[in-house]
Structure 1
């Protein structure tokens, strides 16, 4: 009897569950689900097709470039006399920053340097007299996604903070900024994968540049006063050349094996160099539309943080994460000197406007003048 009652209970509830489940599923099913699934499949197929097409076009482009690759730069320069060992040493050590020096540049008078540290201060140093002149702000960028401009003033009592103007606004951190030749426009690069051109007075966006697939880490303007191009490098291992008027990428180079930390135009503007975390510096000829030289040694295993050319363009200076500065013969592709002195990574490097010296900044909180 007990078994019969339990069996009846099972038979009683089993049909109820069988009838309710299909009804519930039928109620929850939306007619949009099959359509959305179809659209997703079509989208994935389109993306796969476009990716295949882009890879095909990229291969064809490399084939066309290879047809023009008839000779190496060092082969052309075989008859050029070598430089031998190049001797330089530290002439001044500038101290005053309380944190890592991140960037610096020379003033036009060739006697002063502006530098910034991780605590967002900028200082002007008169290196000929070996003392700090004044501390104030001008233009800076940081992790607040903004580029701020301050008016310059030697009056320490003036409230410069009240005159601050936020010009650029990205959706991620700013990695680099530079005034254009007009001084009324600012060019910025950002971790949001874009570069942008801004008007200083109005703060309006004049042009945006899309083409990198990851963070943009560096940029450099063409040296010509009438030039309308700049080059950028980023975490996607690409160096892109841009037309500021159209916003289009007019040339792209992807030969590095890691992030590009620094780019610098050759003095003539016909080429540029790049420094990367893959421990190499590379030279790209814009007229030949290809890479023409690699500057590396098996013993160098640390990344390049900053690069710059000598005034003549014969030397390429590279600051490295192993605290050294390597000096390369651009034509021969050989290292002519290695400089020691910093006690932490070299974060920035710039040659003076007259070409008689160059300055380096480091995470050891100092700047050094080399000649």
Structure 2
């Protein structure tokens, strides 16, 4: 049994909230939205937002690099901004192709970026220079996931496929005809045995990454598009969020649904829930929505 308590709602963004990211402190996190604002929040001080950066276009993706205390954010149709969190100063930029950018992931000295033009851009972190452009589809790359165990990365596309690439050579290894619509989110299980995918078709699929990505399980998880997946810090659970306005909690071993967090039962979001962040702070989940708000949920497993 899971007891859910809504801790707070953070307001301040003037457009849909698209990105949530960890910081170097367990009680703080970053958000980014369609308004171009990047804000740092403190879970110990509700609704006190601290502006970190402001760009001219929407931000769908950002990633924190703890080694340098830098936040990488990607401004749609412009490019990468590297922000020094200590000084809140932009220290580096890199112009990208004029398109939307949906995801960014780091592995060793490389940043992997998912573009709306169907290109995965691979960038050297130190020199902020291009290493490789992988054009794998005429349709958008919507999400990325890194598997260091098998030395590969997976990319979800709006052509309904998941494509798996070698992490070193960047060669295409496998194409999975995964869903009936765009693949919006990918996440490897913490032990890297499974790849979880969520799609605009509202299906959650579990792929066996140790067995040629054979389909382990398919679940009709939501009534509309699944936007994001995130695992709990203890790896026992994961959460999904959807255009159907709900957040759902699942058992990571059995893949059984354990809890639904929605507007009717928990004063949840009024529109699409776009992003989740399962924090290490008091087992709290943060959710960002089209309704321009960020909600904070405390989960107690009884």
Q: Verify same fold: TM over 0.5.
A: yes
Aligned to 2:83: 150
Corresponding residue number in structure 1 for 2:172: 249
> In 2, Cα distance between the equivalents of 1:357 and 1:230?
28
Structure 1: any 5+ residue segments left out of the alignment? 1-84
Q: Say whether 1:93 aligns with 2:21.
A: no
Q: Which entry has the higher C-alpha Rg, 1 or 2?
A: 1
Q: What TM-score, normalized to structure 1? A: 0.68
Residues in 2 aligned to 1:231 and 1:239: alpha-carbon distance in whole angstroms: 7
Deviation at 1:123, TM superposition (A): 0.5
**Would you say 1:317 and 2:239 are equivalent positions?**
yes
Is contact 1:361–1:367 with CA below 8 Å preserved after alignment? yes
Q: Check conservation: 2:12, 2:49, Cα contact below 8 A.
A: no
Aligned length in residues: 275
Q: Is the counterpart of residue 307 in structure 1 residue 229 in structure 2?
A: yes
1:148 Cα deviation from its structure 2 partner: 2.4
Q: CA deviation at 1:354?
A: 6.7
Aligned to 1:119: 35
Kindly report which structure 2 residues correspond to 1:1-371, keeping only aligned pairs within 5 A, or say none: 85-137=1-53, 138-154=71-87, 160=89, 163-166=91-94, 169-170=96-97, 172-182=99-109, 185-222=110-147, 224=148, 228-289=151-212, 290-296=214-220, 300-340=222-262, 341-353=268-280, 356-371=283-298
Instruction: Report the TM-score, using the length of structure 2 for normalisation.
Output: 0.82
| Cα drift, residue 193 of structure 1 | 0.9
For 2:166 and 2:44, the matched residues in 1 are separated by 39
Q: Which has the higher strand share?
A: 2
Change in CA separation of 1:150 and 1:332 when aligned onto 2, cut-off 3 Å: closer
8 Å contact 2:144–2:154 — kept in the other structure? yes
Q: Which has the higher helix share?
A: 1
- Give deviations 1:80-135, integer Å, cap 9, x for gaps: xxxxx433232232222122111101223211010101011100000112143521
Given that residues 350 and 358 in structure 1 are in contact (C-alpha distance below 8 angstroms), is that contact kept between their aligned partners in structure 2?
yes
Q: Name the stretch that deviates more: 261-270 or 308-317.
A: 308-317
1:266, CA displacement in angstroms?
A: 0.6
Structure 2 unaligned blocks of 5 or more: 54-70, 263-267
Show the counterpart of 2:59.
none
Q: Which has the higher contact order (CA 8 A, sep 6+)?
A: 2
Q: Distance in 2 between matches of 1:313 and 1:202?
A: 34
**Is the Cα–Cα contact under 8 Å of residues 15 and 34 in structure 2 kept in the other structure?**
yes
**Distance (Å, rounded) in 1 between the aligned partners of 2:84 and 2:273:** 29
The structure 1 segments of at least 4 consecutive aligned residues displaced by more than 4 Å after TM superposition are none
1:253 & 1:205 partners in 2: Cα distance?
27
Contact 2:79 2:93 in 1 (8 A): no
Query: How far off is 1:217 after superposition?
Result: 0.8
Contact 1:308 1:349 in 2 (8 A): yes
CA RMSD of aligned residues (A): 2.3
Q: Report the Cα distance in structure 2 between the residues aligned to 1:274 and 1:361, rounded to whole angstroms.
A: 19
